[in-house]
Homo-oligomer: A and B are copies of this chain.
Amino acid sequence: MDVGFIGLGYMGKAIAANLLRAGHRLTVWNRSAAAAAELATQGAHQAAEPLAAASHPVLMSMLADDTATRAVLLEGGLLERAPRGQLLVNLATISVALARELSAAAHERGLIYIAAPVFGRPEVAQAGKLNVVAAGEPAALARLEPLFAAFAAKVWPLGALPERANAVKLAGNFMIASALETMGEASALVRAFGIEAGDFLGILNSTLFACPVFQNYGKLIAEQRYEPAGFTLTLGLKDVRLVQEAALGAQVPMPLAGILRDHFLESIATGKPQRDWSALAEVSLRHAGLT
């Protein structure tokens, strides 16, 4: 299929590469041109400006956050120039509020907005094994299947309202951050009894908690290996904020999200914001005087 693709960070680049590998024709754009140039060597057509990538029947977007998404898609006039009937597929983790706004703006201009945020760190994206939570017009979702197949282990359909996919993505990221906090507090407790985090997490994470989130992050926490980051503390705080905004709009109290917010904030205020978000576990150690 002919696809425009904008936003080539770690995740976007890996997804775009998989689309190329699967034989799709891509026109790519990125704010800093280097990433686009890299994909051009893999067969992509490099657009000089976002609008040049927007003329295809499908436009995929993986921009960094709400601000970047708003700037390029809404304020950049991209939606106004896109061809009617275009499928606008947003892969990024954005707020439910912006998803609603984009969906309404797309509808008004005769475009079809699909929210399709993904679960998986960069290496999972490279392996083409992401989990995609997708919501929007069912017929459009069906047409996108060959594209999703190029980079997803599985697509999880969530109905016709796009923002539902964003709500699920945010709730999922909340669950991951909660797992980090949980391992942090539990490890601090056993540490005070002379047990290494690795020994403790080794037991739990090979039995009751034998799943990727606990195993992968458990390893980082046990080894205190927080750099280089797969996903920074700053991004962790950003996502917790999006969770809290969604929860506020939907009137859902989430006390655990409140703790996460404070601990990310403290990690950033007192430490190195560029460390991996699993460094959240350090907060519990510090509060117990164990560092």
Contact = CB atoms under 8 A, between A and B. Distances in A.
A176 B208 contact: yes
Nearest to A263: B253
Given A251-B265, A265-B252, A265-B253, A175 B170 contact: no
A167 interface: yes
Contacts of A263: 253
Greatest chain B CB density within 10 A among A171, A195, A213 is at A171
Contact of A253 (B174, B207, B262): B262
B256 A181 contact: yes
Interface string A20-43: 000000000000000000000000
Interface residues of A, number: 76
B256 A189 contact: no
A97 interface: no
Nearest to A205: B211
A167 B200 CA distance: 10
Interface stretch (A7-15, A46-54, A158-166): A158-166
Given A208-B213, A287-B270, A131 B193 contact: no
Contacts of A178: 178, 181-182, 185-186
Contacts of A214: 211
A70 B258 CA distance: 28
